Structure formats: structure tokens, C-alpha cells
Amino acid sequence: MPGFEIFGPEEKQEIADVMENGFIFRYNFDPVRNGRWKAKEMEAMLCEKMGVKYAHLLSSGTAALQTALAAAGIGAGDEVIVPPFTFVASVEAIIMAGAVPVFAEIDETLCLSPEGIEAAITPKTKAVNLVHMCGSMAKLDEIKAICDKHNLVLLEDACQAVGGSYKGQALGSIGHVGCFSFDSVKTITCGEGGAVITNDDTIYQHSHKFTDHGHDHEGNDRGAESHPIMGLNFRISELNAALGLAQLRKLDDIIATQRKNKSLIKAAMSEIEGVTFREIPDPEGDSAGFLTFMLPTEEKTIEINKCLAKEGVDGCFYWYVNNWHYLKNWDHIQNLRSPARLPIHLIEDRPDYTQVNTPKSDDIMSRTISMLIKLSWTEEEIQQRIENIKRAFA
């Protein structure tokens, strides 16, 4: 990853097809689009690849998260369990939905642990936002059983894990609703874009309406459509969908390349004393966008991270101090800073996010480094990278 590494004539042709023969708005304008429906075509391909009944494209992964919450009936005052290690959008979407984020511990999958989820459940818990971080998956069997036991909505945030799977099922397709991001640095990109996937008729009907001001999308006269629910504008454009369509056709090749490149580096690093790797519940389903490894102590991890940079091993992320991906660095979330009053400000017994304590997660993340796996590496570049890594550990 990311998919922009392999932009080629296919992407240019899809975009040119819209500009020369179609129309940029995703709905209606039938007479001038000459049968070009890029968003619909990409949605159909997503359904096929992910093995689901429904897919709906929208403007971003964040929009997908907020749409999934609304479509699944998650709203004012509902508690949603979320990990402290994720992209900040996972939390922002919950707050903007009027719901309440409740942070729970992760395990060495780097995703929510079954034990962490159980410990965080209260009578107000309505959903689990299960984030498949860095291209791999959580312990889905145990977590799905917990959600079924407590009648909780299982939302799979697979924004970083498109192309991954668990026991043959696509990540994002196992819970009630799944979300993808197709932004500029994801495994496949629309430039900006995202998707909701589901097998639930009601969630799908709510999703496509919610993302277009409540339009029911019945008939071919937009002005005559009904609006059975309220919504927002999270529409994707045909230009973004066209780019994503070309990228989606390459997904299988992208995943195969990532897995090959990752396996070479992981094999070399497995010989380094003190290095262990994240737990992957189904290694065959790893999308392989990152190689994540752990070291014995926080001090050693900080040292190695600096040595990797010194040796020119780029694309390494020490998430524990990252501004965008770990709770302890989110001062704006901890203090609920916003330009306007939010629904959560009206909840008197809301959590004090300045006092959230996740010691197990802190221990794991303070010893963890993730290495981006690129698509464009040559065999010579991979071998040179391995030599540089070995020098960093010497």
C-alpha cells in the first residue's frame, strides 16, 4: 500500500470516460451520462468481492463510519465501545452521532480484545466499533459471540483492512455493517471516498438515504423523490468512483504483492533476537499492508525506531507517540474541544476522557512499531531494506 503507487492508464481511462461520455453527479441526469454509472459499477464489484448483498459508496471513510452508526440505529446517549489505538475518526464519528465513546483495551492483535470488550459493557452499550488496524483482524469469533450474547451491533471498521479476510470471509462483512476508506493513502484509493457494506436490508436502505439528504432514490426524477428520513450529504462523485473502480480491479494483485514483500522482510526479521510480531488470528487473511513487530521494552523500541530512521528505513510508525492514532495524544478528544456545543456535552454522567486508563494497551503500543509495505519495491530494494534493518538492530 498505498494504491497510488500503481496508478496507470487504467485510472486515467476511467476518469476520461466520465469526462468525455458521462456526468460527474452520481445520481440521475440519465440523458447526458450515456449509460456511465461508475459508483453503481464499483458498488456491484464491491458486493461481489466482499460477498455481501449491499455496498454503498460515499465521500470518505469517516462518512462511512457516521453513516453506519446512523443506519444501524446508534444515536443520542448510546455507548459505543472503541479502542484507544485507531484513527481519530473512529471516535469523532461516534461523538458526532450523539453517542458516547467508551474506550476498551486492545490485545496483541492491535485490535479490541474480547476481555476488554466484556469489561466495558454497561446497560447503555449499544455497539462495538471493532477496528481492524494496520491491515489485520481482531479475534472475530470471540468478539462476535460477545456481541450476540449482549445483543450489540458489531460495526467493523475495516478502513485499513480492505482485501483482508477471516476464515474466508472478507473483513467488513462479518458484523452487522462494515466500513472502508478509500482516501489517498489507502490500499485502494478513490482520491477521497469510502463505503458501507452490509447484508442487512434496513441498514442499506438507511445508508443510501442518510447520505443524500434522505432521498429514497426511487424513479428517475430527483425532484419527485420522497425523503422518508433526514440525512446529510456524503455523496461520492462519479470522478472519485471512476478512480476507485480502476483501483478495485487491481485489489487482488495489490494484496498478493503486499503479502510477498511482507513475507520476505518478516522472514529476515524473525532471525533478530528480541523481535516478536503482532498476533494475527488468521494469517492467510492478512492484507499485509504493514509488518508490525514488538520489542521487549519501551526504551528499546524508542532506540530501534531512531536507528531505523538513521539507516534510511522509511515508513516506520511508532504509534504510541503518534498524534492521530493513539488516545493518549488526543488532547482535543480528552477535553471534548469543539467549535460548538455537542450532544455529549449535555450528558452529565459522560466519561471523563482525561482519566481514561488503558494500561494493557499502553504496554503493547509502547513496544510496537509498524512498517509500511510498499507495492513499488523491487527485489533489490527489498534486499537493501533488509540489510538496513539488520544494521539498525546491530
| Average pLDDT of span 154-165 | 97
In terms of Cα–Cα distance, which of 387, 144, 172 is closest to 287? 172
Choose, from 186, 209, 250, 262, the residue flagged as catalytic: 186
Q: Which residues pair with 180 in a beta bridge?
A: 195
Let me know if 209 is a catalytic residue: no
Over residues 107-134, the mean pLDDT reads 98
- DSSP character at residue 173: S
What would the pLDDT profile of 97-120 be if each residue is shown by its tens digit? 999 999 999 999 999 999 999 999
Helix H or strand E segment including 294: strand 290-294
Residue tagged 443520542 (cell numbers): 76
Residue 306 has a pLDDT of 97
Q: What is the pLDDT of residue 220?
A: 87
Rounded Cα distance, 193 and 3, in Å: 13
The topology (CATH level 3) of 252-393 is Aspartate Aminotransferase, domain 1 (3.90.1150)
pLDDT tens digit sequence for 299-334: 999 999 999 999 999 999 999 999 999 999 999 999
- C-beta separation of 292 from 110 below 8 A: yes
Is the fold of 3-250 the same as that of 252-393? no
Please state, in angstroms and rounded to a whole number, the distance separating the CA atoms of residues 190 and 120.
36
Question: Of 377, 338, 15, 6, which Cα lies nearest the Cα of 186?
Answer: 6
Spatial CA neighbour of 365 closest among 315, 326, 311: 326
Q: Taking the domains of the chain in order of start, what are their residue ranges?
A: 3-250, 252-393
pLDDT digits (tens, 9 = 90+) for 11-62: 999 999 999 999 999 999 999 999 999 999 999 999 999 999 999 999 999 9
Q: Which CATH architecture has domain 3-250?
A: 3-Layer(aba) Sandwich (3.40)
Residue 302 contacts residue 318 (beta carbons within 8 Å): yes
Which stretches within the chain are classed as H helix?
9-21, 30-33, 38-50, 61-71, 89-96, 114-120, 140-150, 201-210, 238-248, 251-269, 298-310, 331-334, 359-365, 379-393
pLDDT in tens, 175-228: 999 999 999 999 999 999 999 999 999 999 999 999 999 999 998 889 999 999
Confidence of residue 3 (pLDDT cuts 50, 70, 90): confident
Contact between 143 and 116 under an 8 Å Cβ cutoff? The reply is no
Percent of the chain with pLDDT over 70: 100
Mean pLDDT score across all residues of the chain: 97
